[in-house]
Amino acid sequence: MIHPTAIIHPKANVAPSCDIGPYCVIGEHVTLGEQCQLHSHIVVDGHTVLGRENEIFPFAAIGLKTQDLKWRGGTTHLRIGDKNVFREGVTVHSGTKDGEATVLGSHNLLLAQAHVAHDCLLGNHIIMSSFAGLAGHVVVEDHAILSGYAAVHQFCRIGKLSILGGCTKVVQDVPPFMIADGNPGVTRALNKIGLERNGVSTEAQAALKQAYKIYFREELGGTDALAKIEKEVPALPEVQHLVQFIRASERGICK
């Protein structure tokens, strides 16, 4: 299952069930879990750990040194879960400071030329469309979708079950369950289709719609809007997550 042209460091930890295609390069400190498939012309380097059944397509570069100019040496990491797909030309970099890590969960799909920079934290079931890019220290929660050419500024957060429109420029946090679009990105509406597809109850959808109207459509300050949501909207888990996400924002919410 290893092509004779592949170059694998003798100290790399590659599970016997992995399929390593032509001209792949695997570094010394790399761990590949069971049934990972590397098609061809792929570089996996650095202190990088991949779980089971990850699939990587040609010309992807996984785990290489951060591009951050604050790099001063040390051991940095990239940790990737199970059953992720990295399409052609995807780049994912390790952390910047000694001991820091970039982390991706499981079941994520990164389409051609998507970029995940240093120290990002990605959850599960995320889709990054072609040429979508995350700057350093970005957090992306579960089931978020980033459309093509979406660009996310450093330290921003993308909430769960949110969706970014194509070419969206994100400079503040995108709240969960919402659609954001524009340059700069603005919260446009509740992500109703995404909520339906992921089995969110009609009761929770109605509550989130009410919370959306209070926070984004009424002329209230952020603190007052959150207080009104907590007073008037059913305290369902989805609503509580939305409120907690907004309250924890350091860059502000894109409105």
Q: Give the catalytic positions in this structure.
A: 118-119, 136
Neighbours of 87 (CB within 10 A): 20
What 3-state class would DSSP assign to 154? coil
**Rounded to an integer, what distance in angstroms lies between the CA atom of residue 75 and that of residue 73?**
7
What 3-state class would DSSP assign to 35? coil
Let me know how long the chain is: 255
What 3-state class would DSSP assign to 192? helix
Cα dihedral 52/58/64/68 (nearest 10) = -120
Residue 80 backbone phi and psi in degrees, to 5: -125, 135
Q: Please check whether residue 110 is in contact with residue 129, taking contact to mean a CB–CB distance below 8 angstroms.
A: no
Pair of tokens at residue 171:
């400079």
Residue 114's nearest CA partner among 37, 33, 57, 44 is 57
Dihedral sign for Cα atoms in the order 181, 185, 189, 193: positive
Q: Please check whether residue 101 is in contact with residue 70, taking contact to mean a CB–CB distance below 8 angstroms.
A: no
